[in-house]
Amino acid sequence: MKQFLIILITLMLSSCSKNDEMPDQIIGKWKLIQVQIFGFGGLYSEDYSNKNIVYEFQSNGVLIVSGGKNEGYSPGKYNYFFGQDHLGGSNDPKILLVKINDSKWTYGLKESKMTLGKSYVDGPNLIFTRK
């Protein structure tokens, strides 16, 4: 019985990793391909696929934006956080999001496309592909 408990505890501890706290799927270079804005007139979408706007999320918490003007961030360096946090107040549930210079963006990853969203406050949704 004692050996069983030791094995069980070892398995439980080994299944926990730093990635559970800080997912790393955002790390790397992402090319902006589309911006969606939801307004009174409906959905407005702008194609950025022919522009070379790149968001590089570094493992040290620095985001480097390059390539020109866009609906998200101007070229430059920004601090970011990627992980679980409250989107609204502390009574809201924690969700996976990206915080860039204290501005919160919802996060989605489907197939090879990443979406950073501000549509919850009538802002843009930025859609990327991994570069």
- Domain chopping of the chain, boundaries: 27-130
Name residue, tokens 């990443």: 114
Match domain 27-130 to its CATH number in 2.40.128, 3.30.1490, 2.30.230, 3.40.50. 2.40.128
Q: Give the predicted TM-score (pTM) of the model.
A: 0.80
pLDDT in tens, 79-127: 999 999 999 888 999 999 999 998 999 999 999 999 999 988 889 999 9
Would you say 30 and 130 are in contact if contact means Cβ atoms under 8 Å apart? yes
Would you say 36 and 45 are in contact if contact means Cβ atoms under 8 Å apart? yes
